[in-house]
Amino acid sequence: MSLDASLPEVLTRPGGESLWQLRADLVSLADRLAPPARGDADWSIEIVGRFHAFLANVQSKMTAREYSQIASKMDIGSVGLLALQDLVTDRERLFKKLLLGGLSEGLMVMATLQYVKAWQAEASQACDEASWWLFESLWRLSAQMSPGLAASERRAQIEAALAPARATDIAPAVKAELLAQIFQVLLVCSLGWVVSLTPRHDGSGA
């Protein structure tokens, strides 16, 4: 069982079908773990479910054409697709990029583009609900990857990462794109447990 097909699809153009396939792959992989070791796997599966619910909520607020324009921007390929054998190294790089603001650097550029019509208030609510859940999940991830970080600094980094998604002067369409990328990075960074279940290819041809 491999994520080589389903994971890149979710990282470049996430949608209901690609998230379904990734969830199925993750559940199949997790089934190979002993119950006491399933905590991280269950969290990855929960992230996929939350990501799907967020996208479905966003999609319900707009027309098919509008959503297609938004979905085309939900691509973290610019920060590097990862080979599974390099997952641990790459997830640390992605995590640092997220908390140092790398994902939101282009936010103001995106904000100047007119992809979609103005959304109604409930669209902003969808983004707000996702931000609430992501705060706690980013805290958990930060605690795992930077256990020595002071709580005040951890909070400041997470607040900064989510600040554009909570700003009142940013269009909900742009917020949705940023939150989707945060979901993608969170998902990737939660997949350290997959490495032990994925055969490495050393290129020796043996």
What is the share, in percent, of the chain residues with pLDDT greater than 70? Answer: 69
Please give the residue that has the higher pLDDT: either 92 or 152. 152
- Mean pLDDT lowest among 14-18, 25-29, 47-51, 82-86: 82-86
SS3 call for 31: coil
Q: Beta-carbon neighbour count of residue 32 at 10 Å?
A: 12
pTM, rounded to two decimals: 0.81
Higher pLDDT, 66 or 13: 13
Q: What angle in degrees, to the nearest 10, is found between the helix axes of 39-59 and 16-30?
A: 170
Percent of the chain with pLDDT over 90: 31
Tell me how far apart the alpha carbons of residues 171 and 175 are, in angstroms, rounded to a whole number.
6
Domain positions in the chain? 6-192
Residue 87 CB: number of other CB atoms within 10 A? 21
